[in-house]
Structure formats: C-alpha cells, structure tokens
Amino acid sequence: MRAPASIAAALVLALAQAPLAGPWLAPAYAQGAGQGTGFSMTPPIPGYGGGNAPASGSSAPATSVPMTPPASSGSAAPSSSASSPAASDSLSAGAAGGPNFSIPSFPTPSAPSQGSTPFAMPSGQAAPAPAGRSPAPSSSSAWIPAPDAGETPAQTQAGQARPVNPQQAKPAPYAQAPAMPAPSMPAPAAPRSTPPTSGAQAPASPPTSATAPTWDMNQSSTGIELPGEPGAPAPTAAPFQMVPGQPAPVITQVPATTPVAEVRKRPDRFLIPQRRMIFAGEVASRAWVFYATQEEANRQASFLLSYLSAVVVMPETSRIRVTVNGQALIERPIAASQEPAHFEVPIQRGTLRPGANLIRIDVVQRHRTDCAVTATYELWTEINNEGTGLVFNGGRPPLSGGLDDLASVGFDQYGVTPIRIVTPGPIEGGGSSRVLRVVQGLAVRGQFPNTSVTIADSQTGQTPPGGLTVVVGTASELPRLMASVPNEARLRPITTLLEDDRLGAPTLVISGPTAADVDRAIDRLNAISIPRTDAVNTQTLYAPNAPLFDSARSVRLGELGVPTQEFSGRRFRAEFQIALPADFYAQAYGNAQLLLDAAFTAAVRPGSHVDVYVNEQIASNLPITASGGGLFQRERMQIPLRNFRPGVNRLWLEVVLDTESDARCLPGATLPAENRFVLFDSTEFSIGNFARIGRVPDLASFSADAFPYNLDGNPVAVVLARQDSSTLSAAGTLMSRLALANGAPLPIDASPASVTLGERNVIFVGSIDQVSSSVLDQVGVAETARTNWVVSASGDENRDVGSSQEYDNVLERFRSRQVGDSPPPPGEPRLDQNTHEVYERWRGSVQGHSSLYTIVEGFEGWLERTFSINFESFRLQEGRRSLFEPPPRTSVLMAQGTGPTGSAAWTLVAGRTPEALAASMTRFTSDAVWNRIGGQAVAYQVASGDIERRDIRSFSFIVTQPLSFGNLRMIAANWLSINILPYALMLVLAGTILGCATALLLRRLGRPS
C-alpha cells in the first residue's frame, strides 16, 4: 500500500501547486477538457433554461472549478479557493485534493465554426443571477462568454456568440494535457468603480495575439430554447464579466424571432395522372405522355419533384431518375423516409415540345439490412402529387384557341380533370342530351385519364387548377353565364377556348346564334375518332399504347416498353400491357406464350424461379433447376387464357433469385454487386387465334369499349332516374369514360320513349330508391337492395382513401389479421356482411362436420381449386334464378342483363343517393377500378376500394365476326370446356353412335370367324 500512497501524495502536491502555474497550466486544462473529452464545458447562462445562479451578494456552493484563465497574463492568476464549507473540507485553499469538474451532457461538438465564441471564466468567482432568480442547484456554475481576440465584449454579447444551455451537469474525469506556456499579454486596465450603464461604450478589445481555447457552439437544436435560436427568449439582464480589471459588457436586447415556415413552390401544372403513384420493389419504372401547347413549350419552365420513401430504403445505393423526351432532368439518391423530399431543376429550352411529351420515372431501390426476397416487398417510393409538376416563369400560359389544345388542359393533384358544365335554365328536355354529348367529345379529344363532371351555375367561381369550364348556350344566353362573350357567337357556331373574367381559364365556349347552331358546334366537337385497329390508346396513363390482339400476334418486349436490363438484386420485375377485343371468348381453353430470352450466373442457386402475373394473379411459373449458370433461348412459358379479360390487361414478369451470399447476408451484402440476371428485349409475347363472339351480360366487355352499345350506331338510350344536376353529373362521368374506352363519342338519346325501351340498348343511372322494380329484376338485382343499402350519403362515399382516417382503418385491419378478428358484441349487427356470408356462417355452425353434405362440399372445393371445376359445370340447364344483393356499404352498383325481349342490353348504374353516386363515380371510373369490372354485376366500395363481383350464370351470344368453320370450332371448344356435363354426354353419344355404326358395318361387310 506504500506505492499507491506515494503516487497519491505526489498527485496532491502537484495539484496544490496549480495556482502557482495558473497562466501555463490553466490553458492546458481548458483545452483538454473542451476537446479531449468531446464535451462542451459551458454551464448555463443565468436565466436560460438550466440552473439559475445565486443572487448578487451571495456565493454559490462550489462544486466545480473554473478552468479558463483570465484574458490577461500580465498579472498573477488569482488563487483558486473553495467558496463553501463543503469544498473546504476536501480542498484547503486548493491544496488538499483534486477539483470535481462538472461537465454538461451535450452532444460532441464539431470543429469550431465561424460563429463560435470562446468562453472565459476566472477561478474562484461565481456569476450573479438577474433579479428575481432563485439560487441555482449546486451542480452547475454560471460561465460568461469572453470576447474573441480582436473582438470587443459588446460585439460578442450583441448576438454573435450563442451560449449553450446544458440539459444536465455530470461529473467528468480530469482532462489531462501537457502544460503549455501562455503568451505574454499586457496588463488589463484598472476596473471601474461602478458598473457600466446601458449606454456605456464598449471597452477596448484585447490584443489579437492573445488566444484562448474555443469550442464550437453552433450545434443543432437540443430541444432547449437557446439564445440565438428561433423561438428562444431574448436576454433580459447583462451578466457580469468575470475578467479582473475589465468592466462588464452590455448585452443588447435581441427580440425573439418567430420561425418562418419554408414556402414550397406549387406546380403550375400537375403531371401525375393518377391519385397515387407508388414504385415498389428493387426496380420499377413508369412512362406516360402529357401534352403541352406552343406557349408552354416556348416559355422557360422548371420541373418539380417530390416523393416519400420507406425507411428501409438505403439512400447510398437507391436512386430515382426522371427524363422528359429522353432528356435526363433529375437523378438523385432516394432519401426521404421522414418527410417528402423536394427538388427543382430548370428545363433546358427545346426539351418541351408542342403536343405530346414523354415523361419517364425509373427507380432503383435496395434494402438497408435485409437480404431476403421477402424484404424487397418493404421497398417503396411514392410520388407526392402536390409537389410534382411544371413551374413556368410568369405562371402557366392561359389556354386560348381551338380544340387542338384541349389535350393540354391536364388534371389536378389527384389525377382527375374536373369538368364544370355551365348551362342556362333547366336540364330537362334537350339540356341533358347536350351535356352528355359534350362530355364525350371532351374526353376523347382531351384523352383525360379520369374525369369528374359537375353541372354548375355561373356563380361557381374560377376554374380550378387542372380543370375545364364549359359554357353551353346560345349567344343571347351567354351574357348571364359569363363575363367575356365572344362576338363570333352571334354570327356562327363556335367552339373556342378563352379566359373569362368570371370563370377564369381555360373556359370552352360552345355557342351559336340559335339552338340548332349550338348542336352543330357540339357535332364539330364530337367529330373525332381514335382508330383501334392496332393498339388501344392508353399513353396518357401508361406508355406505350397497349397493342391490340384481335387475332394471332407476337410482340417483342422491346416494343412493349421493356428494354434489355441487367440485374444484381433479388427480385426483378418488368411490367407491360396488352389489350384484347370486347368479343374475346377464350376464358376456358387455350394458352398465350412467353418466349423467354434471359440468362443467369452461377451465383443463382436452384430453387429460383420466373413467374408471370396477369391482372395481379399468378398465371405461369418456370423453375430454375440448373446450377452453374444458364441461358434461356426462347424458353416457352404457357399462360392460360382464362387469366385474361376483354380490354386492357396488365402483365409483369417477376424473377426471384436465390443466392448463397443472400442466405448468409454478411454486412454490406445488400450493396450492388455483380449482375446475376439479364432479361433481353427480344423476349416475345404471343397469342394464337381465339374465338370471337360477344356475350350479354358481360361487364368486362362493357368496360372494354362500351360493348354492345357501340355496335349498331343507333343512339344509346340514357334514362336518368331523376332530372337533377347530381344524377346528370354521375351520368356525364360515366359516359365520358365509355367514350374514352370506345375511342369515339356514342350517339345519345336522353329522352327516350318508354314504350320503345324494351327493344333498345338502355343505360339507367340514378339512386337505387328511384329505380323501378322491373329494371332491378331485368338486371338481376334483388328488391331488398333498397332497404339493406344502409350507408348514408355523407359516409363512405365522400371519404378520401388517402386520408388519415382511412390510414387508421387500414392499420386496424392489419392488426386484426395479426391477432385475429375479435367478434362483435352480442346483438350488434355486422354491416360488412351480406346475406350470403351470413347464410354460410350459420350453415357451417348448424350442420355437422361429419355429414355427407360436408364431404361432398369439400370435394367440390377441391375440384375447383385443382381443376377450376365446380358442380355448376355439370348442370344441363340453369337452376333456380338467384338475384344479386349488394353489400350494405356499397357505393356504386353496376349490373347488366337483357331487356324484356331478350334482344337488347340493359345496364344499371346506381348509388345510395344521387349526391353519393355523383361523388363516387369519379373513383369508380378511374383506371385502377374500371379495369377490374367484370361478370354480371359488381358492387364497389369507395372506403375500402373492394369490388364484389357476381359471375355470369347465363348469357346470350351476339355475333360480331363471321361464323367461319375455324371460329365456330373455337367457340364450341370454349363452350364445351365451361359446360362439362354436356361435353361428356356428347362424348358418350358420339361413342355410342360410332359403336353402333361399326357393329352395323361389320354385320353387313364383315366375315364371321
């Protein structure tokens, strides 16, 4: 024990001599404590958040020893002495032991910045607190900033230095550094006898040769309001200057500043054509076309991009790239997991073109930590619609001119084009027919991906961004509808885009001297047809256009917008789309083919596979069984045609790669490495000949191109359940979507004679309460739908899926799936179930599980899962007719059937109320929902986005193509594949006839043996 005692005694003796070596040792201590420990050595200034110093005239309990020497070195440093009895017990005049340093627990400061200020504190002094302050806790002392070299104290206190307020003082070990002699400094001036007033002049600055240890105080906010930070209180009292021989500086009152929120630029024109655009997985891309006018192409513009990404996306290896007409505008790392990122880049002149412009977004994403294939489903980047678009210098040029600029109207931040129709007087008579004709011509000419039609009056205000106001009336009616009446309307039929002082821009005026001239102007608007011989026009939503397979055809992936791609990740995905005609009839037989050209390296293990999805359902699988790498050359993948539907079909090729390195997942394994897979654009998709004949009812054909209402060219009878603006708005939104799908406006008769409806193709639109029972029976809807449809008009129909309430509902459903659904309280009805679901639940609970019926039902389920066969296929004729009952929370009901004579199609589109139907129709006709419509009836719920579909039980054929032998053979093959029992009976009958004929021939021609 003698050696440790000797060391302790030597240490105590060295520390006891510290006052004698103050000018040399103190700077070393201060430098070592401030930089060597990595902590800020500044206690709180009196009055700012932390502990408060004792009042003037009293000494604070000394629990820490100041470590910064006075600015002057010309005089001996004052001896360090304790100022409390507690300290004197352990340290007698600084010679009995080591000091107990108190260090605030702040983040590690960076290198001193330009705005940092050194702090000076002489030993043995404590800072008094402002009047009214209570004594500070004994764990902190008040330190006052000393001026920098060459800077006056007044300048320092005026706001250039930002003192730091510690959150909690903690004891720290000694910061030991070799003692360095301080440079000689002149003696300070004699101290003044009275403290300076607020108007006193600042003392002279110390020599610039004097240096003091500094710490960087320009750190990020610590959650405490500090002087100099936004929202921090201004100093209220001048602290004492602790340097002997110098007066205390004066602190200038600094008013508190209120943080100003950064104002983000709002696009003059939005560019995202749908409500939400999400890029999921490791690689994803999307391209579409937008139209620009000559003025927009000539004006200087900037591109705004805003997006939000998942927190697991690694910014170092994930990138987003935006190109317009092949010119790269933005290529940035993806780093926006907390809040949306915002970028603005100028567009070079000549990049935008008058007319069509192709925009493409490519996203590459990698996971931060996980190498599993399942982790790739956590990767996503969502484009912020409200922050993405074009900004023009001086604002967007107003649209004015002819009908050729209608495509440049665009859409709003939700991808919807609001169309406001302003008409004079009531809508009865020919008013509704004009509205329905006008909105069809606008949809086809503008190629709007999603429209929302409203019937408005002249007091609706300015045209919303991305919207269009249409004024329809004679020249004498225009003055009460708008402010700027074109003079040409009094002379001839006109269709003119202009900017109106009352309605804003763009405003389309359809007018003429008389009502007949107005109809001729509408005919001019509707004189357009987009050919559908080779492709379906989808470029304003997806580019390139979907090729139309109306017969045998093969298309390379390069023509479908999928280039040759090399891949180093775990799950590769490439999307494309194709279109089929409305009379496509091959759901039960035949296959499409994908001739795959690809290669994989030796790193890919057996068990990897290539999948093909059609309309979000897996349709084909190709396992990778070879090891050591391989090459696919026109490898055939069979895709059953039952996965396709009339209209546009979305397909994607997905490759799941399993490797040894991903199984180990060592640190850095998620970083890009050598490519392990390549897909060549020479891969082909092909479909052979298939049967072509139309069916009624079939809502998939109806949504594909308004089939069968587009066949004979006769006017389509549109019956409104009530002649009001809400019902007409819903019908206008529906007809604009049908015209866009058809590629041309449909002739309309909005006032048909009731006696002729039985033999005509009719579309009924309105509230379910106002639809007659005979119409409900013809389209196969139960009469009880009137009473069981319980959702109010102000409920789910008007709820935004992207709102926080919907997010909470989705989160709650996810939690329910994790922990299991809890049953509702006894006696409380479940509104999310229909009669069929309740019946199945009661049947399962009442019937015994060992009954013969249960065994047969299980066998039927196995047949349906394995061979897509159910007992309905074994019926020779249709059983008892059952009517469709929509779920209680249905927003839009669409059902189709035949008329009373059986020779025409009747289609019903209904809602709970006219207002609810008009509000829900915009979402119902959006591309994400419209391409999922099929069967005999569908019920759509806006709140959840779910579609309940009723399959076709019975139908009638409509001949659309010549009944050649080849077409008849394929029609029979598809029908017999659906109806198995007739097929079996026909086989038995054919075999019986063949046997009888053989026996008869042998009896006459054969010889007995």
Q: What percent of the chain has pLDDT over 70?
A: 65
Ranges 212-216, 776-780, 831-835, 865-869: which has the least confidence: 212-216
Model confidence band, residue 475 (pLDDT cutoffs 50, 70, 90): very high
Q: Would you give the DSSP letter of residue 674? A: S
| pLDDT at residue 596, rounded to an integer | 96
Work out the average pLDDT over 968-990: 88
pLDDT over threshold 70, residue 442: yes
Of the candidates 359, 386, 388, 460, the residue with the CA atom closest to the CA atom of residue 418? 460
Beta strands 327-333 and 319-324: pairing type?
antiparallel
- Whether the CB-CB separation of 218 and 196 falls below 8 Å is answered with no
Amino acid at 732: G
pLDDT band at 849 (very low <50, low <70, confident <90, very high): low
8 Å CB contact between 474 and 517: yes
pLDDT tens-digit series, residues 58-78: 334 443 333 333 443 333 333
The whole-chain average pLDDT of the chain stands at: 75
pLDDT bracket for residue 484 (50, 70, 90): confident
Q: Between β-strands 417-422 and 451-456, what pairing exists: parallel, antiparallel or unpaired?
A: parallel
| Cβ neighbourhood burial of 999 (10 Å; 0-12, 13-18, 19+) | exposed
| 429 band by pLDDT with thresholds 50, 70 and 90 | low
Minimum mean pLDDT range among 576-580, 886-890, 968-972: 886-890
Each residue's pLDDT tens digit, 4-16:
555 555 554 444 4
Dig out the tokens for 141 from the structure.
Answer: 């002392």
* Angle between helices 515-526 and 430-446 in degrees, nearest 10: 30
SS3 for 442? helix
pLDDT over 90 (residue 188): no
CA distance 413 to 635: 44
Does position 701 have pLDDT exceeding 60, yes or no?
Answer: yes
Is residue 852 pLDDT above 80, yes or no? no
- Give the contacts of 423 (CB within 8 A, at least 6 positions apart): 431, 434, 435, 455, 472, 473, 481
Kind and range of the H or E element at 102? strand 102-104
Cα separations (Å) of 464 from 265, 351, 456, 484? 17, 27, 13, 18
* 387 alpha-carbon distance from chain centroid: 12
Question: Rounded distance, CA 509 to CA 477, Å?
Answer: 12
| Nearest one of 100, 31, 22 to 63, comparing CA atoms | 100
As a whole number of angstroms, the distance between CA 661 and CA 683 comes to: 29
* Range list of β-strands (E), 548-587: 553-556, 565-567, 571-580
Among all chains, which residue has been given the structure tokens 């979305």?
650
Q: What is the mean pLDDT of residues 249-264?
A: 53
Cα dihedral across residues 174, 175, 179, 183: positive or negative: negative
Which has the minimum average pLDDT: 342-346, 396-400, 686-690?
A: 396-400
- Residue range 722-749, pLDDT digits in tens: 989 999 999 999 999 999 999 999 999 9
- What pLDDT does 563 receive? 95
Instruction: Let me know: does 355 contact 292? Beta carbons within 8 Å.
Output: yes
Q: Nearest CA to 648 among 615, 674, 622?
A: 615
The model's pLDDT over 92-141, given as tens digits with 9 standing for 90+, comes to 334 334 433 333 333 433 443 444 333 334 344 444 444 443 343 333 33
Q: What is the pLDDT of residues 338-361, one digit of tens each?
A: 999 999 999 999 999 999 999 999
Distance CA 511, CA 475 (A): 6
The closest of 286, 528, 504, 494 to 409, measured between CA atoms, is 504
Distance CA 692, CA 584 (A): 5
- The per-residue pLDDT for 533 is 83
Sign of the four-CA dihedral 69, 74, 78, 79: positive
**Is the separation of the CB atoms in 359 and 290 below 8 Å?**
yes
- H and E: helices and strands count for the chain: 19, 40
Nearest to 43 by CA among 143, 136, 134: 143
Neighbours of 170 (CB within 10 A): 13
What is the distance between the alpha carbons of residues 845 and 822, in angstroms, rounded to a whole number?
17
* 775 Cβ contact list (under 8 Å, min separation 6): 764, 906, 908
* Residue 34 to residue 108: CA distance in whole angstroms: 10
- Centroid of chain to Cα 805: 16
- pLDDT over 70 (residue 628): yes
Nearest CA among 580, 951, 528, 585 for reference residue 746: 528
Q: What is the DSSP letter of 823?
A: P
- 783-840: pLDDT as tens digits: 888 887 754 444 454 444 444 444 445 445 544 544 444 444 444 444 445 555 666 6
Which residue spans within 207-282 are E strands per DSSP? Answer: 269-270, 278-280
Is residue 396 scored above 80 in pLDDT? yes
